[in-house]
């Protein structure tokens, strides 16, 4: 479906429970850097089957959404709240992966009365990005995307050259290239990773969160390892659920992630 937010079209992927009902709890899913809402194509249906109304927007200048690139994580969170308004959502849970987890954290901080549950997948604070990778985003973006794609999978998955995981890696790499090429507003690779690197308000935001919080951490995550979540877990008094796989858990271990999310939302099957 498509909404209009700030006079720009927003592509919104939607999965409805069956049978649909007016009291179905809402869940917003926020994608990470150089991605779009297609990364949720396994989790969205699983949550809908468990009775949730699930909505996943493409962020501005990502995928099918237009509009200018927004300057920081705070601005993206405010934009998400305007998307929720346009979709008619008053109260909802919000889950974000990687960069999307920082946006989700800010959503819960900016509107604590509206968020029922906060789920942070593949998160870290601070979410620092190496200067070499930022330089690669400008000078050699194809090589930079290759490196990110390798590090985003567990070593075992990255070593596979055929089969489902090799196909998933190829699809992840193609999505980054497609999202980068489709952005007419600037260098999306550089923009998204700079936003992660520059975000400094995580602990201040955590202090304003009022809902239950769950971190879903992949055991072999090389991009946002567990040691980078310690302060955030303590500040949020968060529950931590571990799943196998690497940072790209949504593609590498979709069933395990779905079980963890549904268990956290109280809808495990």
pLDDT single digits (tens) 42-54:
999 999 999 999 9
pLDDT at 7: 96
* Residues of the chain above pLDDT 90, percent: 96
Distance, in Å, from the CA atom of 37 to the CA atom of 51, rounded to the nearest integer, reads: 20
Determine the Cα angle at 217 with ends 254 and 225, to 5°: 125
Burial string for 41-80 (b: 16+ CB within 10 Å, else e) reads eebbebbbbbbbbbbbbbbbbbbbbbbebbebbbebbbbb
| Overall average pLDDT of the 129-146 stretch | 97
pTM of structure = 0.97
Residue 99 pLDDT level (bands cut at 50, 70, 90): very high
Token pair, residue 184, equals 């007419």
Compute the mean pLDDT over every residue in the chain, rounded to the nearest whole number: 96
pLDDT at 21: 73
Task: Give just the sign of the alpha carbon dihedral 181, 183, 187, 190.
Answer: negative
Lowest mean pLDDT among 21-25, 138-142, 151-155, 208-212: 21-25
Question: Is the pLDDT confidence value at 40 over 50?
Answer: yes
Distance, in Å, from the CA atom of 181 to the CA atom of 63, rounded to the nearest integer, reads: 10
Lowest mean pLDDT among 7-21, 72-86, 191-205: 7-21
| Overall average pLDDT of the 220-230 stretch | 96
> What sections of the chain are H helices per DSSP?
43-49, 73-86, 99-110, 131-139, 141-151, 155-158, 164-182, 188-198, 202-206, 230-236, 249-252, 254-264
| Overall average pLDDT of the 113-125 stretch | 98
Question: Is the pLDDT confidence value at 71 over 80?
Answer: yes
| Overall average pLDDT of the 122-150 stretch | 97
Question: Is the pLDDT confidence value at 34 over 70?
Answer: yes
Distance, in Å, from the CA atom of 111 to the CA atom of 91, rounded to the nearest integer, reads: 10
pLDDT at 20: 72
Question: Is the pLDDT confidence value at 55 over 80?
Answer: yes
Distance, in Å, from the CA atom of 261 to the CA atom of 248, rounded to the nearest integer, reads: 15
Question: Is the pLDDT confidence value at 268 over 90?
Answer: no
| Overall average pLDDT of the 160-183 stretch | 97
Question: Is the pLDDT confidence value at 269 over 50?
Answer: no
């Amino acid at each position: 479906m498509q909404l209009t937010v700030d006079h720009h079209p927003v592509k919104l992927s939607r999965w409805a429970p069956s049978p649909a009902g007016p009291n179905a709890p809402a869940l917003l899913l926020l994608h990470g850097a150089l991605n779009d809402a297609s990364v949720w194509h396994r989790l969205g249906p699983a949550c809908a089957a468990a009775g949730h109304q699930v909505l996943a927007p493409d962020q501005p200048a990502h995928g099918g959404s237009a509009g200018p690139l927004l300057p920081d994580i705070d601005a993206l969170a405010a934009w998400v709240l305007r998307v929720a308004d346009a979709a008619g959502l008053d109260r909802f849970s919000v889950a974000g992966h990687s960069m999307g987890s920082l946006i989700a954290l800010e959503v819960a901080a900016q509107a604590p009365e509206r968020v029922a549950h906060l789920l942070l997948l593949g998160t870290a604070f601070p979410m620092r990005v190496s200067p070499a990778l930022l330089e690669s985003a400008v000078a050699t973006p194809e090589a930079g995307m290759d490196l990110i794609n390798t590090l985003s999978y567990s070593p075992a998955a990255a070593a596979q050259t055929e089969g489902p995981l090799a196909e998933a890696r190829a699809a992840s790499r193609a999505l980054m290239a497609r999202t980068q090429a489709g952005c007419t507003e600037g260098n999306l690779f550089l923009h998204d990773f700079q936003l992660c690197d520059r975000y400094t308000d995580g602990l201040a935001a955590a202090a304003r969160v009022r809902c239950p919080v769950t971190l879903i951490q992949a055991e072999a995550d090389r991009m946002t390892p567990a040691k980078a979540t310690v302060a955030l877990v303590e500040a949020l008094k968060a529950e931590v659920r571990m799943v196998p796989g690497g940072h790209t858990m949504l593609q590498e271990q979709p069933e395990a992630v779905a079980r963890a999310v549904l268990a956290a939302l109280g809808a495990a099957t």
